[in-house]
Amino acid sequence: MKHTRKAAPRPARVGAFFDLEKTIADHAVIWEFVMELYRRREMGLSVVVRTMWIYFKYSLGVVKNFETVMRDASRRAFQGRNAARYIEIFRELFDERLKHRIYPGARDTIAELKKRGVRTYIISTTFQSLVEFYANHLGIDEFYATSLEIVDGIHTGAINGPIYYYQHKASLMMEIAARDNIDLARSFAFGDNLNDRVMLECVGHPHAVNPDKKLRAVAERGGWTILSWGI
């Protein structure tokens, strides 16, 4: 009788999952971009005010029908706009100002985790074309963010695919863990507000970064690591 040897199971890996805004960097990325467009007179005041209101409610965790709100914001800010021009504007903004507002603590933590062989991910509600600058700059292995539809080089204002927020972040982490053989019990997650709670609860090593009042209370009850990162 012929015996076949079963392949040994792959050893599980460790992952580190990061929110972006107010976790890796000290700012709200879309807000900074909208303000830059306003300064350049490429965007009207009504869109700026609408964006500010959405971010204020989101930071408090009180946005209802968030996906509908996000799709509406995308349409208002991007519909009919030249994609290449928007990317070039953000590239200038990132190089001149925003990359200098990445927390040194985030830089050091990501570098140390990568040195230890930990696979790094960003999961963000922010638009993919903007998140990419941070991911490339920091050497992040993979990033997931909101994808904007572009036809013939012009933004349609529509969103392609999912928007990663709250439970959607956790669901994505489960998919990544299954695909990449990540042991979530040994893994790390970093977030700054209550919208990141479910993501943080998925891993064995949750870190609350400069947490808001609600997340701090959750972190203290759970014995999570609380980090105070500044520029």
User: DSSP letter string over 152-215?
Assistant: TTEEEEEEES----THHHHHHHHHHHHHHTB-GGG-EEEESSGGGHHHHHTSSEEEEES--HHH
pLDDT per position as a tens digit, 42-63? 888 887 787 777 767 666 666 6
Low-confidence ranges of the chain (pLDDT < 50): 1, 8
Q: Which H helix or E strand runs over 90? A: helix 83-96
- Which pLDDT score is estimated for 66? 79
Fill in the DSSP letter of residue 228.
-
- Which pLDDT score is estimated for 11? 77
- Which pLDDT score is estimated for 168? 94
Can you name the residues that pair with 209 across neighbouring β-strands? 227
Distance from C-alpha of 37 to C-alpha of 17, rounded to nearest angstrom: 30
- Which pLDDT score is estimated for 22? 95
pLDDT per position as a tens digit, 1-48? 455 555 545 679 999 999 999 999 999 998 899 899 999 998 888 877
- Which pLDDT score is estimated for 110? 98
- Which pLDDT score is estimated for 56? 72
- Which pLDDT score is estimated for 164? 93
- Which pLDDT score is estimated for 61? 63
- Which pLDDT score is estimated for 75? 87
Give domain 15-227's CATH number out of 3.30.450.40, 3.40.50.1000, 3.40.50.300, 3.90.1140.10: 3.40.50.1000
DSSP letters, 39-86, are HTTSS-HHHHHHHHHHHHHHHTT--SSHHHHHHHHHHHHHTT-BHHHH
